[in-house]
Amino acid sequence: MNRRVVIASIVVIIIASLAIVVTRSLYEYIPSNPLVGHDQIILVVSRTENANTAKLVLFERDGDSWRFVQTAPAVIGENGMAWGRGLHDDRDRSGEEQKKEGDRRSPKGAFELIGAYGYRPGQQVNIRFPYTRITPDMACIDEARSEYYNRIVTPSDAGLDSLNMPSHEDMLRDDDLYKYLIMVGHNTTDTKRGAGSCIFIHLWKDEQTPTAGCTAVAEPVMLQLLSWLDPAKKPVLVQLTRKSYRRLKEAWGLPDITI
């Protein structure tokens, strides 16, 4: 009787061990597919982790494939890219560095687009995407301890003292880099303190000057992008290094590009 119990126990242990191995393998090796249900992609790919220039390519879904729309140069964070928090699963990161507040890196991954902002009235902009005109007192809060962290606010609406604001970026800038911008959905859902804030696609100073962590393009490219975005097609931003693009291309169903 004892022998049967021992054998049964061994069998149970073996089955349980196999189940753990299979479950762990599935968790570790099957990436998510954050592009399901999204029919427009802004694909930004850099050559290396530390590169601060990139290739931006627009695609629209055409049946079961992707149709090329436009390509343009872009600049990204001064220190390159690190994995952000967005539509992708954290396991897609595969142990690569995570983005942190102030690291001057653009977020890597797949991200929804929250809305567009600009200095001109909406009726003067060729756009279908949700658009908000920037006012002189509008700010994006980058103070991790603030309840408004990673949010664009108007102090009077948020109940903040305009003379004693938490750390922030003024949205109305003298250099006009925010003349048109798109807010990227990085760290906006289940916001994690210190994981990075105020990430935009905005205008560049020039094609050699990197950003503090955003993605920037020339004004003509931005205007074409704003007119192209279709909220019904749920556009997303996908930012990857060449190495990550090659690793995730098949799993995410990404279109072909050369970089």
pLDDT of 138 strictly over 50: yes
Q: DSSP assignment, residue 255?
A: P
CB atoms inside a 10 Å sphere around CB 222:
22
> Rounded CA gap, 215 and 130, in Å?
19
Output the pLDDT for position 119.
98
Which residue has better confidence, 22 or 206? Answer: 206
The confidence band for 259, taking pLDDT boundaries of 50, 70 and 90, is: confident
Whole-number mean pLDDT of the chain? 91
The confidence band for 157, taking pLDDT boundaries of 50, 70 and 90, is: confident
Structure tokens at 66: 């992707």
pLDDT of 118 strictly over 60: yes
Predicted confidence (pLDDT) per residue in 173-192, tens digit: 999 999 999 999 999 999 99
> Rounded CA gap, 117 and 133, in Å?
6
> Rounded CA gap, 254 and 256, in Å?
7
pLDDT of 13 strictly over 60: no
**Mean pLDDT calculated for residue range 159-185:** 94
How far is Cα of residue 82 from the mean position of the Cα atoms in its chain? 10
Output the pLDDT for position 162.
85
Task: Please work out, in degrees rounded to the nearest 5, the angle formed at the alpha carbon of residue 132 by the alpha carbons of 130 and 133.
Answer: 150
Question: Any bridge partners for residue 81, and if so which?
Answer: 106
pLDDT of 40 strictly over 60: yes
Question: Where is 239: in which H helix or E strand?
Answer: strand 236-241
Listing DSSP states for 153-222 in one string gives E-HHHHT--TTSPPSEEESS-TT-TTSEEEEE-SS-SSPPTTS----EEEE-S-TT--BSSSEEE-HHHH
pTM over 0.85, yes/no: yes
Nearest to 178 by CA among 208, 146, 214: 214
**HSE-CB for 177 with a 13 A CA cutoff:** 21
Question: Any bridge partners for residue 110, and if so which?
Answer: 238
Output the pLDDT for position 74.
98
Output the pLDDT for position 21.
44
Predicted confidence (pLDDT) per residue in 73-94, tens digit: 999 999 999 999 999 998 899 8
Task: Name the least confident of 18-27, 147-156, 247-256.
Answer: 18-27
CB atoms inside a 10 Å sphere around CB 50:
13
Output the pLDDT for position 4.
64
Given a contact cutoff of 8 angstroms between Cβ atoms, the answer to whether 133 and 154 are in contact is no
**Mean pLDDT calculated for residue range 15-42:** 68
Structure tokens at 243: 């190495």
The confidence band for 161, taking pLDDT boundaries of 50, 70 and 90, is: confident
Predicted confidence (pLDDT) per residue in 188-238, tens digit: 999 999 999 999 999 999 999 999 999 999 999 999 999 999 999 999 999
**Mean pLDDT calculated for residue range 32-47:** 95
pLDDT of 70 strictly over 50: yes
